[in-house]
């Protein structure tokens, strides 16, 4: 029995020695410019999964060194004017970081005497600091090639590196313009991944920094709107108004939210305050007209505000069609009422009133269509007017346009 134990012990020692030798062999291959790095990866992978070596920081540091060697070989090609293998290069960049972090974590474990005596932390810091720009370059490479998942991962790794505890207090940990820019593009990549939770997380992080903050708020608005999260949508729009008081985007969207939730008085109050500050903004009058038209069915006040909008922007197809719609709908209402009359003279009188309103609406829809000839809503409006005015030729022409869109 004793002999069996000794043999078993020798076997275990041999296995441990073999795995440590594999780590050393992989390390030599990482430093050899002519070695096969895939063979080095195979060697270190065994050590990373072996009980004798998987908790040794050297194992993980060597694994990261192999990826760093791959990066060095590709960047050397660039120095010599050759074309690097960018997918291979940036794959190595992405693979290296979790290996370095694991090596750092194991390097911080106290020894038998209870002391922390790191052997690899300084080198880890040096290599990651030198390679930091490659995480940005890799993210850009993948972003431009529409691989947004990879772009997100590389951008996020850049941010992760700067937030590592071993960089605390160093210049690299500063939330400078580069950091803020990458935080923004991390969020932009996240918006393309069809992952609402990740998208919101990245956008909310980017929102905390001034770099293209306006765009971040716009994307947050779109994200909350897409998810039908009206509470956070309203909160974000309110924040947007505070952060960007000169922009009407957040104000108008908040007003639309008030209208859709039948908070018309709140919308009117907000618009009144906004107009007092910016009385020449046509969008504010358009919005005010919409509240009166849709919320209160006060077509007189709606008309007044649409006219005001056109005074400040005569080429706005929206304001033109809004005003034309007021007249057209009023004409249709009169036609519907006239159709209930039995007195021919009264019927003809009402029909003539309606006709004048259709004529009044016509130039507004014609101009809107001229400005934006592909918009279906303006063609639909014109078709209705031509029909009511019995303009057969024009009716046929607009119908043909609509069929050929």
Helix (H, G, I), strand (E, B) or coil at 262: coil
Residue 294 has a pLDDT of 86
Distances (CA, A) of 174 to 134, 138, 180, 216: 18, 21, 10, 21
Residue 55 has a pLDDT of 93
Residue 229 has a pLDDT of 96
pLDDT along the chain (405 residues), means of 10: 44 56 88 90 91 92 95 91 93 97 95 89 95 96 97 97 91 90 97 96 96 97 96 96 91 90 92 92 92 91 96 94 95 94 91 95 96 94 95 94 85
Give Cβ neighbours of residue 284 (< 8 Å, ≥ 6 apart). 248, 251, 252, 271, 274, 275, 278
Q: Contact, 168 vs 128, CB < 8 A?
A: no
Residue 171 has a pLDDT of 86
Residue 2 has a pLDDT of 42
> Can you read off the two tokens belonging to residue 353?
């009133």
Residue 13 has a pLDDT of 46
Residue 17 has a pLDDT of 58
Cα gap 388→210, rounded to integer Å: 55
Cα gap 19→103, rounded to integer Å: 17
83: left (phi over 0), alpha (psi -120 to 50) or beta: beta
Domain extents in the chain = 23-110+118-171, 175-247
DSSP labels, 124-192: HHHHHHHHHHHHHHHHHHHHHTT-HHHHHHHHHHHHHHHT-GGGTTSGGGS--HHHHHHHHHHHHHHTT
For the whole prediction, is pTM greater than 0.75? yes
Q: What is the largest CA-CA distance in the chain?
A: 125
């Amino acid at each position: 029995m004793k002999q069996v134990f000794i043999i078993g012990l020798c076997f275990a020692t041999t296995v441990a020695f073999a795995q440590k030798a594999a780590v050393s062999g992989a390390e030599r291959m990482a430093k050899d410019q002519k070695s096969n790095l895939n063979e080095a990866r195979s060697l270190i992978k065994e050590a990373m999964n072996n009980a004798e070596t998987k908790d040794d920081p050297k194992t993980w540091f060597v694994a990261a060194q192999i990826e760093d060697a791959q990066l060095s070989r590709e960047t050397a090609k660039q120095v010599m004017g050759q074309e690097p293998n960018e997918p291979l290069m940036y794959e190595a960049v992405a693979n290296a970081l979790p290996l370095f972090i694991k090596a750092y974590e194991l390097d911080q474990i106290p020894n038998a005497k209870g002391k922390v005596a790191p052997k690899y932390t300084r080198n880890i810091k040096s290599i990651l600091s030198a390679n930091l720009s490659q995480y940005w370059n890799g993210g850009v490479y993948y972003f431009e090639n529409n691989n947004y998942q990879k772009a997100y991962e590389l951008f996020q790794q850049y941010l992760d590196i700067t937030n590592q505890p071993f960089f605390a207090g160093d210049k690299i940990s500063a939330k400078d313009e580069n950091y803020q820019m990458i935080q923004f593009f991390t969020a932009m990549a996240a918006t393309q991944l069809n992952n609402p939770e990740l998208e919101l997380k990245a956008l909310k992080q980017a929102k905390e920094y001034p770099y293209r903050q306006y765009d971040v708020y716009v994307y947050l608005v779109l994200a909350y709107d897409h998810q039908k999260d009206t509470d956070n949508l309203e909160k974000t729009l309110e924040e947007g108004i505070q952060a960007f008081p000169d922009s009407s985007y957040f104000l108008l969207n908040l007003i639309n939210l008030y209208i859709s939730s039948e908070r018309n008085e709140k919308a009117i109050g907000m618009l009144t305050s906004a107009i007092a500050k910016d009385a020449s903004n046509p969008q504010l009058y358009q919005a005010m007209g919409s509240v009166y038209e849709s919320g209160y069915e006060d077509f007189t006040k709606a008309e007044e505000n649409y006219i005001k909008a056109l005074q400040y922007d005569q080429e706005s197809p929206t304001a033109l069609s809004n005003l034309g719609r007021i007249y057209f709908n009023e004409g249709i209402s009169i036609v519907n009422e006239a159709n209930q009359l039995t007195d021919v003279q009264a019927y003809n009188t009402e029909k003539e009133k309606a006709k004048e309103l259709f004529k009044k609406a016509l130039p507004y829809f014609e101009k809107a269509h001229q400005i934006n000839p592909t918009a279906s809503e303006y063609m639909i409006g014109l078709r209705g007017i031509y029909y009511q005015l019995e303009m057969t030729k024009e009716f046929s022409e607009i119908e043909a346009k609509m069929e050929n869109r």
